[in-house]
Amino acid sequence: MPVAEKRTTLQEYVTSEWQDKPQTSGLGAVIMAIAEGSCRVQALVQQAALADVLGVTGETNIQGEIVERLDTASSDIFVETLSQSGHVAAIGCEEIEKPVIVEGEVADGFIVLMDPLDGSSNIDVAVSIGSIFGIWRKRPDETVNDDSLLRPGNEQVAAAYVVYGSSTILVLATKNNVCGFTLDVGSGKFSVTHPNIKIPADCLYYSTNEGNNKVLDEPTRKAITLLRNKYSQRYVGSLVADFHRNLLKGGIFAYPADQNRKDGRLRLMYEANPLGFVVEQAGGAASTGFQRILDIIPKQLHQRTPLILGNKDVVEETVSVISAG
Ligand code: AHG
Ligand code: MN
Ligand code: MN
């Protein structure tokens, strides 16, 4: 039996890579809080019905969407671990209407925007789901308030997502560096398994909800037709799972605006911005179809946006057709 090579753990990674750099001290604690929370969420995901976390709570969230038990449970877990990290000043969450302003003075505070459980429609049918995080550094000497969270994606210092799939993978992006870690469920530790992720030059897949074609405008329908004629269709219905496959294998994800959703379906602050940051650091691109995602000046915490992200050249081609009008 070959001796398993010693892999670098996430704790060792953030300590060795970041601890001594002033621009990231404290960020390691935020990442470890995300890792701790995702271990706890992963356990609930695997237990599912046995842990009584399937099904709906009977409430609807600020988005007007039915809230699944696991949406609430994962939101509570991450709010707890992030608040206790000692380096998070405020949290914005898909499942919480108003920002959570963390008590107590936080010196080098970070602001975290999160989708604690992405792919809710897949929870009850045992299909891959995930969690998504965007991380901004609060402005020096700023006393954070609700408006402190409305920062453009191009001011993020890091972003991360977790896929709870056949394995549990945490992907962490900082400037020019995207690294993937796999969870060893036994020890509860993440270790480096996908160093220096770059989106492949060749695009293999396109991911879009083809059921929406009838409500697309003509230029967008033409753009989707071009993708359909060139690439294989893969669509899980969990953004984070579709994105992860396209990041590793080469692909494009598109949830454009349509007649029913003029502003798109996905949320800018905790879906499009974090994954837009990840894909750009991995050499890809993220657009609304008319504008770079990370340049959008946000107006509301839960605002939606059209989202097209993946291989840079394919995103640019798709955008040129959509915006040609
Ligand atoms: P969430 O579960 O956080 O609300 O996100 C669900 C999103 C995203 O994960 C996925 O890409 C999209 O909903 C699927 O939407 P459709 O079911 O309309 O295709
Ligand atoms: Mn989501
Ligand atoms: Mn969600």
Query: Which of the 8 DSSP states describes residue 139?
Result: P
Intervals of CATH 3.40.190.80 along the chain: 205-324
**Mean pLDDT of all residues in 114-120:** 96
CA of 121, closest atom in ligand 1: 2
Ligand 1 pocket check for 119: Cβ under 6 Å:
yes
Q: What is residue 71's predicted lDDT score, i.e. its pLDDT?
A: 92
Q: What superfamily in CATH does domain 10-194 come from? A: Fructose-1,6-Bisphosphatase, subunit A, domain 1 (3.30.540.10)
Intervals of CATH 3.30.540.10 along the chain: 10-194
Mutate to test the pocket of ligand 1, among 115, 216, 236, 238 (most ligand atoms within 8 A of CB): 238
Q: Average per-residue pLDDT in the chain? A: 93
219-234 confidence digits (pLDDT tens): 999 999 999 999 999 9
Q: Where are the alpha helices (DSSP H) in 48-199?
A: 69-83
- Ligand 2 centroid to Cα of residue 306, in Å, is 13
**Max Cα-Cα span within the chain:** 60
The b/e string for 235-259 (b: 16+ C-beta within 10 A; e otherwise) is ebbbbbbbbbbbbbebbbbbbbbbe
How open is the CA angle 309-311-317, to the nearest 5 degrees? 85
Between CA 264 and CA 307 the distance in angstroms is 7
- Contact indicator for 165, 42 with CB cutoff of 8 Å: no
Q: Which residues surround ligand 3, an ion (CB under 5 A)?
A: 94, 115, 117-118
178: three-class secondary structure by DSSP: strand
Q: Is the pLDDT of residue 7 over 70?
A: yes
Ligand 1 pocket check for 209: Cβ under 6 Å:
yes
Confidence of residue 292 (pLDDT cuts 50, 70, 90): very high
Query: Which of the 8 DSSP states describes residue 268?
Result: I
Between CA 134 and CA 157 the distance in angstroms is 8
* pTM (two decimals): 0.96
Ramachandran region, residue 237 (left: φ > 0; alpha: ψ -120 to 50; beta: rest): left
**Cα dihedral sign for 62, 64, 68, 69?**
positive
176-192 confidence digits (pLDDT tens): 899 999 999 999 999 99
Q: What is residue 275's predicted lDDT score, i.e. its pLDDT?
A: 99
**Mean pLDDT of all residues in 133-155:** 93
Q: What is residue 15's predicted lDDT score, i.e. its pLDDT?
A: 87
Question: In this structure, which topology does domain 205-324 adopt according to CATH?
Answer: D-Maltodextrin-Binding Protein; domain 2 (3.40.190)
End-to-end distance of the chain based on CA atoms, in angstroms? Answer: 60
- Ligand 1 centroid to Cα of residue 21, in Å, is 37
Q: Is the pLDDT of residue 87 over 80?
A: yes
Q: Which two tokens stand for residue 52?
A: 């009584």
Between CA 139 and CA 269 the distance in angstroms is 18
- Contact indicator for 232, 97 with CB cutoff of 8 Å: no
Q: How many CA atoms lie within 13 A of 165 on its CB side?
A: 19
- Ligand 3 centroid to Cα of residue 164, in Å, is 13
Between CA 147 and CA 276 the distance in angstroms is 21
Confidence of residue 22 (pLDDT cuts 50, 70, 90): low
